[in-house]
Amino acid sequence: MEPKIKVRFASGGEKEVSLEEAKRILDETYSDPLGGLVANAKTNEVIYRIEPDVDEIIVLDTIIGGG
Amino acid sequence: MLTKDEQEKYARQIMLKGFGQQGQEKLKKARVFIAGAGGLGSSSATYLAAAGIGTLRIVDHDRVELSNLNRQVLHWPADIGQTKVGSAESKLKQLNPDVAIEAVEEKITQANISQLVEGCDLIVDAMDNLPTRYLLNKVAIEKNIPFFHGAVYGFEGRAMTVIPGKSACLRCVYRGAIPEEAFPVIGVTPAVIGCIQATEVIKYLVGIGQLLTDRLLVYDGLNMKFTEFKIKKDPDCPHCGEPARGKK
Kindly write down the DSSP assignment for every residue of B85-105, as one continuous string: HHHHHHHHHHH-TTSEEEEE-
- Cα B77 from chain centroid (whole Å): 24
pTM: 0.94
> Going from the N-terminus, what domains does chain B have, and what CATH number goes with each?
4-247 (3.40.50.720)
Q: Can you give the pLDDT at residue B201?
A: 98
Q: B104 in contact with A at a CB cutoff of 8 Å? A: no
Q: Can you give the pLDDT at residue B247?
A: 63
Contacts of residue A17, Cβ cutoff 8 Å, sequence gap at least 6: A4, A5, A7, A25
Cα distances from B124 to residues A16, A66, B59, B152, B205, in angstroms, run: 39, 11, 11, 14, 13
pLDDT above 90: percentage of residues in chain A: 63
Q: How far is A22 from chain B (nearest CA, A)?
A: 19
Picking from B178, B186, B222 by the largest number of A CB atoms within 10 A of its own CB, the best residue to mutate is: B178
Q: How far is A32 from chain B (nearest CA, A)?
A: 7
Distance CA B207, CA B146 (A): 13
List CB contacts (< 8 A) between B229 and chain A: 37, 39, 44-46, 60
DSSP A54: -
pLDDT greater than 60 at residue B248: no
CB contact under 8 A, A10 and B36: no
State mean pLDDT over B19-24: 98
Q: How far is A63 from chain B (nearest CA, A)?
A: 6
State mean pLDDT over B212-240: 95
Distance CA A15, CA B223 (A): 20
Nearest neighbour of A34 by CB, restricted to B126, B151, B178:
B178
Nearest neighbour of A34 by CB, restricted to B152, B176, B230:
B176
Helices B84-95 & B39-51 angle (0-180, nearest 10): 30
Residue type, B157: G
List CB contacts (< 8 A) between B158 and chain A: 63
pLDDT, tens digit (0-9, with 9 covering 90-100), for B186-221:
999 999 999 999 999 999 999 999 999 999 999 999
Helix (H) or strand (E) holding A5: strand A4-9
pLDDT, tens digit (0-9, with 9 covering 90-100), for B113-124:
999 999 999 999
Q: B101 in contact with A at a CB cutoff of 8 Å? A: no
Q: What are the residues facing A38 on neighbouring strands?
A: A59
Ramachandran angles phi, psi of B61, nearest 5°: -110, 0
- Helix (H/G/I), strand (E/B), else coil: B132: helix
Residue type, B126: A
**Can you tell me the ipTM of this complex?**
0.86
Nearest neighbour of A44 by CB, restricted to B41, B68, B228:
B228
Q: B49 in contact with A at a CB cutoff of 8 Å? A: no
Count how many pairs of residues, chain A against chain B, have C-beta atoms within 8 Å.
86
Q: What is the pLDDT of chain B when averaged over all its residues? A: 95
To 5 degrees, how large is the angle CA B53–CA B21–CA B54?
15
pLDDT, tens digit (0-9, with 9 covering 90-100), for A31-63:
877 778 999 999 999 998 999 999 999 999 888
